[in-house]
């Protein structure tokens, strides 16, 4: 088996950072009214700026595959030419279409010759699943290198016109309709962007990061869906897919909008997350004091203190001074968040040889978790 190293990291954040007061100018107001939930969500998540693939005139500037292509091309230099890529593994929760796959569309934009492609589906863990596929391919000797990505382009999903038909329909049923909080919630959290890693079987570059191990866990056998799109959640907890509804109901129910069951989220995301973190650390004999940098992907700073409290409760407390996050500056970029976080840390000048970095990614869609331990070489 080969050793596997992250030898290059890049990111692409489209256009300029968007402040909180500009969000409704970009996304639009629903039913002509400013959102009542916006201030509550922003106060809790503490995000100050985020990025949208929308220019100041309201035009879409990039689709998801184009964002990913931009991040990948930043990896190119004299040591990595486009045709050198042996495997392209691209994760996202917001592909531009159902088919072809996200990686196929990225490959189409790259035009870098024949290569293997992989497109893990899912939510935030899809970026880590893309990384794990590349990690295992290089480790097994199947390929000498792999480019792995995480990306999101959710701004177009959050535009006000996505919800207008539903509000018009509700207007016929009640006097003062409002968008349900489970749909409004995510509009004020999500951001667009992409990140990319180059994996190689040699410790090339100025600051190679050895991937010691990766682990993943799912609690879907215990818990209902919590974040979903392309379906409606029934009172039983069952997800009824868009394909089982008449087409005239798709817009009336905003079936393709992302929704979040905030009650289910609050009750389970941290408990199951720390439970799985503890399992991963115990499996590999890692103790909290072994971690120099802890990179947790969290959707909101609301969860930061509560996550720490749960870690203390379960005996895997990692000191605050070892945490590294950038949520307030870039927003929740879903599958790309961990890539963009690691890129910022690697570019900070803080890392030194021998440092251990723990990547931690929860996925609220149906409660999955992914982890990776890296060592600076």
pTM value is 0.95
User: How far apart (Å, rounded) are the C-alpha atoms in residues 334 and 64?
Assistant: 12
Q: What was the pLDDT predicted at 177? A: 45
Residue closest to 131 by CA, chosen among 4, 218, 227, 293: 4
**Exposed / middle / buried, residue 275 (Cβ in 10 Å: 0-12, 13-18, 19+):** middle
pLDDT tens for the 377 residues of the chain, in order: 999 999 999 999 999 999 999 999 999 987 788 887 888 889 999 999 999 999 999 999 999 999 999 999 999 999 999 999 999 999 999 999 999 999 999 999 999 999 999 999 999 999 999 999 999 999 999 999 999 999 999 999 989 887 777 666 656 544 444 456 677 788 999 999 999 999 999 999 999 999 999 999 999 999 999 999 999 999 999 999 999 999 999 988 889 988 999 899 999 999 999 999 999 999 999 999 999 999 999 999 999 999 999 999 999 999 999 999 999 999 999 999 999 999 999 999 999 999 999 999 999 999 999 999 999 99
Backbone angles phi, psi at 196, to 5 degrees: -140, 140
pLDDT at 175: 45
The pLDDT, as a whole number, for residue 253 is 87
How many other β-carbons are positioned within 10 Å of the β-carbon of residue 293?
20
Q: Which residue in the block uniquely carries the two structure tokens 């570059």?
A: 205
pLDDT at 35: 84
Contact of 122 with 363, CB cutoff 8 Å? yes
Domains of the chain: 5-208 (3.40.47.10), 213-222+259-376 (3.40.47.10)
Cα distance between residue 236 and residue 245, in whole Å = 17
CA distances 293 to 199, 224, 319, 323, Å, are 20, 32, 10, 6
Both tokens of 89, joined, read 């593994």
Q: Specify the DSSP element, H or E, that contains 263.
A: helix 262-283
pLDDT computed for residue 168 by the predictor: 65
Nearest to 332 by CA among 352, 371, 302: 302
């Amino acid at each position: 088996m080969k050793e596997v190293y992250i030898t290059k990291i890049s990111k692409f954040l489209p256009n300029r950072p968007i402040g909180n007061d500009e969000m409704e100018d970009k996304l639009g107001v629903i039913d002509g009214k400013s959102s009542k939930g916006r201030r509550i969500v922003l106060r809790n998540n503490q995000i100050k700026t985020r990025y949208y693939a929308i220019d100041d005139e309201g035009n879409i500037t990039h689709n998801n595959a184009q964002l990913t292509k931009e991040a990948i091309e930043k990896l190119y230099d004299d040591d990595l030419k486009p045709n050198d890529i042996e495997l392209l593994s691209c994760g996202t929760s917001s592909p531009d279409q159902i088919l072809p796959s996200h990686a196929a569309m990225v490959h189409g934009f790259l035009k870098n010759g024949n290569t293997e492609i992989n497109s893990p589906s899912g939510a935030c863990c899809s970026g880590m699943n893309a990384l794990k596929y590349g990690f295992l391919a290089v480790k097994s000797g199947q390929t000498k290198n792999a480019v792995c990505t995480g990306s999101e382009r959710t701004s177009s999903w959050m535009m006000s016109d996505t919800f207008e038909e539903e509000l018009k329909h509700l207007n016929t049923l009640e006097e003062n309709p409002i968008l349900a909080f489970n749909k409004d919630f995510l509009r004020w959290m999500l951001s667009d962007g992409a990140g990319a890693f180059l994996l190689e079987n040699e410790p090339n570059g100025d600051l190679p990061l050895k991937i010691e191990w990766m682990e993943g866990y799912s609690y879907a056998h215990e818990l209902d869906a919590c974040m979903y799109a392309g379906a409606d959640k029934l009172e039983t907890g069952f997800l009824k897919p868009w394909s089982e509804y008449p087409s005239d109901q798709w817009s009336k129910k905003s079936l393709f909008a992302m929704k979040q069951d905030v009650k289910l989220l609050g009750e389970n995301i941290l408990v199951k997350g720390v439970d799985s973190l503890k399992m991963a650390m115990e499996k590999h004999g890692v103790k909290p004091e072994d971690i120099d940098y802890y990179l947790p992907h969290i959707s909101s700073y609301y969860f930061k203190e509560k996550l720490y409290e749960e870690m203390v409760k379960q005996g895997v407390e990692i000191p605050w001074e070892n945490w590294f996050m950038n949520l307030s500056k870039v927003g929740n970029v879903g599958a790309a968040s961990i890539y963009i976080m690691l890129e910022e840390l690697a570019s900070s000048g803080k890392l030194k040889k021998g440092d251990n970095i723990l990547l931690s990614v929860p996925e609220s869609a149906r409660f999955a978790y992914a982890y990776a331990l890296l060592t600076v070489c």
